[in-house]
């Protein structure tokens, strides 16, 4: 690498970096600007500077703590579900010899379904208390069907989102399993490790890094889950399924309060950074060579 | 104790037979090397003994009891893998002690044994390092440490030196042999390298296409090969095989003569030929000579003869060292 190639590299990278920077910085700057205005879409042209009032309003709103709690529960539960089930399914698929590619395709399929579509399918075909599949199973067994979105709305959302992200976790973990050195497993076998010990001491440590990757990537997307909530519960009943992303939407487009929504957006950015900071501290060291 | 006996051991993967009935008796404390070209079934045979593969037919006895159907861990054997198969997330201490931990040995006892094994292998300063922080030779030692710490009835080595560079290979070869003699534990060692086989083994098993061609001490194999395959496989450079008219003069369809038993001289008795290539090693010279009516012969002479490409040379075989083979490739002993 000579000085010349380095300079050329910087030059060629320049436009891309500049574009991405502008792409990021303009919306951010505008959001910060809006968050300091009293700006309601019902009263256009009446914008005035209010300082941090929007932030105080957003943070002291009881809906904020409720939605923060919902966000964390949603993210945490989906992570646990997808990683535990993903590991088990990956272990299973790793054993399958016949028709592995078909099975793999079927497992990955939910990932290609749009969130709105899958949420509608879950809402109307599976979890519907009258015409849903779960209700039919419950009545066939003589039980009372659960009205998922009325009685266990957050659980229902968690199930839907977990179903969508399970393929991602499974696929990453399956790929990792297939890269596990066969001789290591055999060495453990010679050392007298049974299937459980072998999993605990050989397979699981091997999966530490891909699990970290799954956690980091899923967290980024799970903090902003929106379509599933919008399509099914609309954040309700009450605030039962309102997460930060949905709360911001509600501020902006239901209450037409752009200022408060922008302040919420900034709060969400801060929360995402806090989460990222802790995640990297806790699991990120698995990523170091 | 570690006497291992194979009786009619056969292994087939589907309709493809890999081992065609192997019979062997490996004495306690001996160092036996399985050698053969790649794909000859030597690793499969080792894995059958280890219990990592199931036999299709036949019996494997360890100290007189049949272990077919017994789990690998319960056979009292330990194995050193080609890739070492160290557990990457465990320290050297954890790696060596893992088998003991799985066997439910108490922690102080594990520590004592691991430290003793580490001391034997000069690994003490590295006990708390991870495998990735070690050199190839040190990793190899950890793998051996993992094998010896369990005090097995026998060690199984699956081409353990193939990932090391040449100098280290010679050194580790010596270390493994020394260690095995010290511990007096039976060892089975798989390699495709006949030099390793000759230098390390008490007894060598030569395998070819799933059959045992010969089982004997290194010098037996060298001096009295049972057949053409063993004759050609053992010894370097390879034995010269001569057929047709010239062989008939010695009363056999094929005769073999090792390069070191062909005396090369500028003139005198013997077959006349022209040097095609001369390889000078300093201590030895390998001459590849084209002899009319016989073909290309290799001769090995000690020291330097001053012959180069194009020179005329006379090759005279040592009559006592001519091996004769019948039409089926079996040795004719007179």
Q: Give the CATH number for residue A234.
A: 1.10.3720.10
For tokens 């990592």, the residue is B52
Residue A15 lies in a domain: no
Q: How far apart are CA A288 and CA A285, in angstroms?
A: 5
Mutate to test the interface with B, among A187, A196, A198 (most CBs of B within 10 A): A187
**A133 touching chain B per CB within 8 A:** no
For tokens 């993210």, the residue is A75
Using 50, 70 and 90 to split pLDDT, how confident is the model at A283?
confident
Q: Are residues B27 and B151 in the same domain?
A: yes
Residue B244 lies in a domain: no
Report the range out of A5-19, A92-106, B295-309 with the highest average pLDDT: A5-19
Using 50, 70 and 90 to split pLDDT, how confident is the model at A288?
low
Q: Are residues B226 and B272 in the same domain?
A: no
For tokens 């699991």, the residue is A283
Whether residues B98 and A206 touch (CB distance < 8 A) is answered with no
Residue-wise over B244-258: b if at least 16 C-beta within 10 A, else e? eeebeebebebbbbb
Quote the distance between the C-alpha of residue A30 and its chain's center.
26
pTM here is 0.77
Using 50, 70 and 90 to split pLDDT, how confident is the model at A64?
confident
Residue A73 lies in a domain: yes
Mean pLDDT in residue range B319-325: 88
Instruction: Find the closest chain B residue to A201 by CA distance.
Output: B87
Of the residues B197, B232, B267, the one at which a domain ends:
B232
Q: Are residues B302 and B207 in the same domain?
A: no
Which 3-state string (H, E, C) describes chain A?
A: CCHHHHHHHHHHHHHHHHHHHHHHHHHHHHHHHHHCEECECCCCCCCEECCCHHHHHHHHCHHHHHHHHHHHHHHHHHHHHHHHHHHHHHHHHHHCCCCHHHHHHHHHHHHHCCHHHHHHHHHHHHCCCCCCHHHHHHHHCCCCCCCHHHHCHHHHHHHHHHHHHHHHHHHHHHHHHHCCCHHHHHHHHHCCCCHHHHHHHHHHHHHHHHHHHHHHHHHHHHCCCCHHHHHHCCCCCCCCCCCHHHHHHHHHHHCCEHHHHHHHHHHHHHHHHHHHHHHHHHCHHHHCC
Residue B240 lies in a domain: no
Using 50, 70 and 90 to split pLDDT, how confident is the model at A287?
low
Other beta carbons within 10 angstroms of residue B184's beta carbon come to: 10
Q: Are residues B168 and B94 in the same domain?
A: yes
pLDDT value at A136 more than 80: yes
In this prediction the ipTM stands at: 0.79
Mean pLDDT in residue range A138-149: 79
Closest CA to A276 of A218, A221, A216: A216
| Partner residue facing A190 (CB), from B73, B82, B83 | B73
Q: Are residues B213 and B256 in the same domain?
A: no
Of the residues B173, B198, B232, the one at which a domain ends:
B232
Provide the token pair at A78. 């989906």
- Domain of residue A236: give its range: 54-287
Residue A26 lies in a domain: no
Using 50, 70 and 90 to split pLDDT, how confident is the model at B334?
low
Whether residues B79 and A187 touch (CB distance < 8 A) is answered with yes
Q: Are residues B47 and B19 in the same domain?
A: yes
Residue B242 lies in a domain: no
The conformational region for residue B241 under phi > 0 = left, psi -120 to 50 = alpha, else beta, is: beta
Quote the distance between the C-alpha of residue A163 and its chain's center.
11
User: How many domains is chain A built from?
Assistant: 1
Question: Per residue in B97-143, pLDDT tens?
Answer: 898 888 888 889 899 989 888 888 888 888 888 888 888 888 888 99
List Cα–Cα distances, B37 to A84, B48, B159, B211, in angstroms: 46, 18, 12, 12
Q: Are residues B255 and B213 in the same domain?
A: no
**A287 touching chain B per CB within 8 A:** no
Using 50, 70 and 90 to split pLDDT, how confident is the model at A206?
confident
- pLDDT mean across residues, chain A: 84
Q: Are residues B39 and B153 in the same domain?
A: yes
Q: How far apart are CA B201 and CA A59, in angstroms?
A: 79
Q: Are residues B136 and B273 in the same domain?
A: no
Name chain A contacts of B150, Cβ cutoff 8 Å: 191
Q: Are residues B78 and B214 in the same domain?
A: yes
Q: Are residues B159 and B61 in the same domain?
A: yes
Instruction: List the end-to-end C-alpha distance of chain B, in Å, as a whole number.
Output: 39
pLDDT value at A131 more than 90: no
Whether residues A181 and B83 touch (CB distance < 8 A) is answered with yes
- Domain of residue B255: give its range: 251-325
Supply the pLDDT for residue A190: 86
Question: Per residue in A70-108, pLDDT tens?
Answer: 888 999 999 999 999 999 988 888 887 777 778 878 888
Backbone angles phi, psi at A14, to 5 degrees: -45, -60
Q: How far apart are CA B124 and CA B93, in angstroms?
A: 9
Q: Give the CATH number for residue B306.
A: 2.40.50.140
Which 3-state string (H, E, C) describes B78-107?
A: EEECCCCCCCCCCCHHHHHHHHHHHCCCCH
Q: Give the CATH number for residue B166.
A: 3.40.50.300
Question: Helix axis angle, B107-120 relative to B92-102, nearest 10°?
Answer: 130
Residue B295 lies in a domain: yes
Question: Per residue in B46-89, pLDDT tens?
Answer: 999 988 888 888 888 888 888 888 888 888 888 998 888 888 88
List Cα–Cα distances, B154 to B61, B157, B189, B225, in angstroms: 12, 10, 10, 28
Mutate to test the interface with A, among B51, B86, B98, B104 (most CBs of A within 10 A): B98
Q: Are residues B81 and B216 in the same domain?
A: yes
Name chain A contacts of B148, Cβ cutoff 8 Å: none
Supply the pLDDT for residue A240: 80
| Partner residue facing A201 (CB), from B74, B87, B146 | B87
Question: Per residue in B20-49, pLDDT tens?
Answer: 888 889 988 899 999 988 888 888 889 999
CA distance B196 to chain A (A): 23
| DSSP-derived pairing of the beta strands B57-62 and B4-13 | antiparallel
Mean pLDDT in residue range A144-151: 77
Residue A130 lies in a domain: yes
The proportion of chain A whose per-residue pLDDT surpasses 70, expressed as a percent, equals 98
Residue A251 lies in a domain: yes
User: How many domains is chain B built from?
Assistant: 2
Supply the pLDDT for residue A266: 86
Mean pLDDT in residue range A172-190: 87
Bond before B237 cis per omega within 30 degrees: yes
pLDDT value at A282 more than 90: no
Mean pLDDT in residue range B279-307: 86
Which of A41-45, A263-267, B179-183, B190-194 is least confident?
A41-45
CA distance A103 to chain B (A): 25
Residue B331 lies in a domain: no
Residue B238 lies in a domain: no
Residue B334 lies in a domain: no
Residue B70 lies in a domain: yes
């Amino acid at each position: 690498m000579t000085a010349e190639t380095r300079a050329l590299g910087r030059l060629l990278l320049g436009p891309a970096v500049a574009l991405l920077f502008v792409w990021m910085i303009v919306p951010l700057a505008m959001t910060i600007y809006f968050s300091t205005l009293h700006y309601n879409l019902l009263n256009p042209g009446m914008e005035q500077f209010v300082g941090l009032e929007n932030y105080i309003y957003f943070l002291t709103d009881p809906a904020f703590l409720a939605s923060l709690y919902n966000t964390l529960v949603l993210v945490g539960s989906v992570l646990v579900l997808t990683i535990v089930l993903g590991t088990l399914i990956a272990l299973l698929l790793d054993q399958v010899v016949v028709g592995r590619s078909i099975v793999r395709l079927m497992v990955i399929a939910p990932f290609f379904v749009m969130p709105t579509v899958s949420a509608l399918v879950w809402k109307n075909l599976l979890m519907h208390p009258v015409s849903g599949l779960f209700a039919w199973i419950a009545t066939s067994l003589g039980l009372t069907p659960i009205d998922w979105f009325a009685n266990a709305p957050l659980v229902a959302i968690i199930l839907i989102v977990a179903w969508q992200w399970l393929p991602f976790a499974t696929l990453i973990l399956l790929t990792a399993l297939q890269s596990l050195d066969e001789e290591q497993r055999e060495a453990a076998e010679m050392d007298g490790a049974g299937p459980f010990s072998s999993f605990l001491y050989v397979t699981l440590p091997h999966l530490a890094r891909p699990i970290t990757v799954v956690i980091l990537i899923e967290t980024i997307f799970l903090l902003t889950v929106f379509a599933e909530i919008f399509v099914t519960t609309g954040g309700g009943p009450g605030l039962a399924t309102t997460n930060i992303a949905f709360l911001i939407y509600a501020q902006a487009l239901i209450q037409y309060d752009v200022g408060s929504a922008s302040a919420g957006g900034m709060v969400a950015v801060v929360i995402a950074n806090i989460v990222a900071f802790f995640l990297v501290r806790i699991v990120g060291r698995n990523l170091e060579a | 104790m570690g006497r291992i006996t194979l009786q009619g051991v056969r292994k087939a993967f589907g309709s493809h037979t890999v081992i065609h009935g192997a019979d062997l008796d490996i004495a306690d404390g001996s160092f036996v090397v399985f050698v053969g070209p790649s794909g000859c079934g030597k690793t499969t045979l080792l894995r059958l003994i280890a219990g990592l593969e199931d036999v299709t037919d036949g019996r494997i006895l360890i100290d007189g009891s049949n272990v077919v159907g017994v789990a690998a861990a319960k056979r009292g054997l330990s194995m050193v893998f080609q890739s070492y198969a160290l557990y990457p997330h465990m320290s050297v201490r954890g790696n060596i002690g893992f088998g003991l931990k799985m066997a439910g040995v108490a922690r102080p006892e594990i520590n004592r044994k691991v430290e003793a094994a580490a001391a034997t292998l000069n690994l003490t300063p590295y006990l708390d390092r991870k495998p990735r922080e070690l050199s190839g030779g040190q990793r190899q030692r950890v793998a051996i440490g993992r094998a010896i710490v369990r005090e097995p009835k026998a060690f199984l080595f699956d081409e353990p030196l193939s990932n090391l560079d040449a100098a280290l290979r010679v050194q580790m070869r010596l270390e493994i042999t020394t260690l095995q003699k010290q511990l007096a534990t039976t060892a089975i060692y798989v390699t495709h390298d006949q030099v390793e086989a000759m230098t390390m083994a008490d007894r060598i098993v030569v395998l070819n296409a799933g059959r045992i061609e010969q089982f004997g001490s290194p010098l037996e194999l060298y001096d009295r090969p049972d057949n053409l395959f063993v004759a050609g496989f053992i010894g370097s450079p390879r034995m010269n095989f001569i057929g047709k008219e010239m062989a008939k003069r010695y009363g056999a369809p094929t005769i073999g003569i090792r390069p070191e038993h062909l005396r090369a001289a500028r003139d005198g008795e013997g077959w006349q030929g022209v040097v095609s290539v001369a390889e000078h090693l300093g201590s030895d010279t390998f001459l590849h000579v084209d002899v009319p009516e016989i073909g290309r012969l290799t001769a090995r002479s000690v020291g330097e003869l001053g012959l180069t490409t194009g020179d005329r040379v006379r090759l005279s075989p040592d009559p006592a060292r001519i091996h004769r083979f019948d039409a089926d490739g079996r040795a004719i002993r007179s």
